């Protein structure tokens, strides 16, 4: 399951192991950093989960973003065992009898993943490496990245105009979104934190801040904040659900949901500006947005009678093997 060999199994790796997908680590059975023809051929049986003798698009699992059609030579929507076998030479570009990670990534196109972007494998993604990823992912060379080509949950964060495609400018702007500490390189921690299903507060709040701060001046005006409603309201139904809100930020949804109906109306969202603008200067700084104002929110939530005091509450905690 530990596909990136970092000594930990993250949620993405765990999910992928539940339903196999084409990846270098999956095919490199002995973990020596290269795929032999024998290892490659064995991959067919791994991906053919129902044993029907063909690999369907679902079996192939586009979590890797690999171009299914490149192997499906006859275009019937299935990869036969012969088509799969013929694919070895397709991957082995230098014809040395092995497929290395670079060859695999350049052909299989794993999409927006750290190891594919970190071309010199030094553990950091520079702006140049990040930008070069655009052309690798743009399979049909139309100058835009579709959701399938990009193949990552962060697509909606970078798709600022919501047209379902990333222009080169949209993609390039993403470097500053992922480079949270602004040191000119994206670490694996920054990259991974941004892709987590349950991101940490600081990182994902920073990502949303970058998305809302359209002029990039490091502070949100009221207009920028209000415009954010449309960005977060993914299904465009005029409300922000807890799920939509959580996908962009882990901030306390209940602080804004005044009527407690489980969704934010436009009025509730817009009223939140004053809550984020802790010092009342008419702007929301990144510090304010990132949660440093959370204690104020939390106090006000607990102080239900608004008398300025929190009543002492006692909680019974049951520990393992004790009461």
What are the extents of the domains in the chain?
1-108, 111-195, 199-302
Higher pLDDT, residue 33 or 202 = 33
**What is the model's pLDDT at position 90?**
83
DSSP per-residue string spanning 273-299:
HHHH-TT-SS-EEHHIIIIITHHHHHH
Higher pLDDT, residue 200 or 100 = 100
Token couple for 117? 């972007």
What b-and-e string marks burial along 45-83, b requiring 16 or more CB atoms within 10 Å of the CB?
A: eebbeeeeebbbeebbbebbbbbbebbbeeeeebbbeeb
Q: What is the CATH number of domain 199-302?
A: 1.10.238.10
Token couple for 103? 């060859």
> Of the given ranges (29-38, 114-123, 267-276), which has the lowest mean pLDDT?
114-123
**What is the model's pLDDT at position 294?**
40
What angle separates helix 188-195 from helix 168-178, to the nearest 10 degrees?
A: 110
pTM above 0.75, yes or no: no
Task: Spell out the CATH class of 1-108.
Answer: mainly alpha
**What is the model's pLDDT at position 27?**
86
> Of the given ranges (6-10, 18-22, 113-117, 165-169), which has the lowest mean pLDDT?
18-22
3-state secondary structure of 236: coil
**What is the model's pLDDT at position 252?**
64
Contact 271, 258 (CB under 8 A): yes
Rank 142-146, 178-182, 308-312 by mean pLDDT and report only the highest.
Answer: 142-146
Mean pLDDT score of the chain: 75
Which DSSP helix (H) or strand (E) runs through 145? strand 144-146
Q: Tell me what the mean pLDDT of segment 68-91 comes to.
A: 87
pLDDT, one tens digit per residue, over 172-203 is 998 988 887 788 999 877 787 666 533 444 44
> Of the given ranges (3-12, 23-32, 309-318), which has the lowest mean pLDDT?
309-318
Residue 126 has pLDDT above 80, yes or no: yes
What angle separates helix 81-91 from helix 101-108, to the nearest 10 degrees?
A: 120
Rank 139-153, 176-190, 266-280 by mean pLDDT and report only the highest.
Answer: 266-280
d(CA 150, CA 147): 5
d(CA 199, CA 157): 14
**What is the model's pLDDT at position 227?**
87
**What is the model's pLDDT at position 202?**
40
Higher pLDDT, residue 171 or 20 = 171
Q: Tell me what the mean pLDDT of segment 218-223 comes to.
A: 89
Query: Topology of 111-195 in CATH?
Result: Recoverin; domain 1 (1.10.238)
Residue 316 has pLDDT above 70, yes or no: no
> Residue holding tokens 């470097």?
175
3-state secondary structure of 144: strand
Q: Is there a common fold for 111-195 and 199-302?
A: yes
Contact 28, 39 (CB under 8 A): yes
């Amino acid at each position: 399951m530990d596909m990136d060999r970092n000594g930990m199994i993250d949620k993405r790796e765990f999910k992928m192991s539940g339903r196999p997908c084409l990846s270098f680590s999956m095919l490199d059975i002995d973990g020596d950093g290269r795929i032999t023809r024998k290892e490659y051929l064995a991959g067919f049986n791994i991906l053919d989960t129902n044993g029907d003798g063909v690999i369907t698009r679902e079996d192939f699992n586009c979590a890797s973003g690999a171009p299914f059609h490149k192997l499906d030579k006859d275009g019937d929507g299935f990869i036969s065992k012969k088509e799969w076998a013929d694919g070895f030479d397709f991957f082995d570009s230098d014809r040395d009898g092995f497929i290395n990670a670079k060859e695999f990534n350049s052909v299989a196109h794993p999409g927006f993943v750290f190891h594919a972007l970190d071309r010199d494998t030094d553990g950091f993604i520079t702006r140049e490496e990040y930008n070069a990823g655009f052309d690798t992912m743009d399979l049909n060379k139309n100058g835009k990245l579709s959701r399938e080509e990009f193949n990552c949950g962060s697509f909606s964060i970078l798709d600022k105009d919501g047209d379902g495609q990333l222009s080169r400018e949209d993609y390039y702007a993403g470097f500053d979104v992922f480079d949270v500490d602004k040191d000119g390189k994206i670490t694996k921690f920054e990259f991974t934190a941004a892709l987590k299903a349950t991101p940490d507060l600081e990182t994902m709040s920073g990502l949303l801040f970058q998305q809302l701060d359209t002029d990039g001046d490091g502070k949100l005006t009221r207009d920028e904040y209000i415009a954010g409603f449309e960005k977060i309201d993914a299904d465009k139904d005029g409300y922000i659900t807890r799920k939509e809100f959580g996908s962009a930020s882990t901030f306390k949804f209940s602080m804004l949901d005044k009527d407690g109906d489980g969704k934010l109306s436009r009025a509730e969202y817009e009223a939140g500006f004053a809550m984020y603008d802790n010092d009342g200067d008419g702007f929301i700084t990144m510090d304010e947005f990132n949660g440093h104002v959370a204690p104020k929110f939390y106090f006000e939530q607990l102080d239900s009678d608004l008398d300025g005091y929190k009543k002492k509450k006692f909680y019974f905690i049951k520990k393992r093997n004790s009461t």
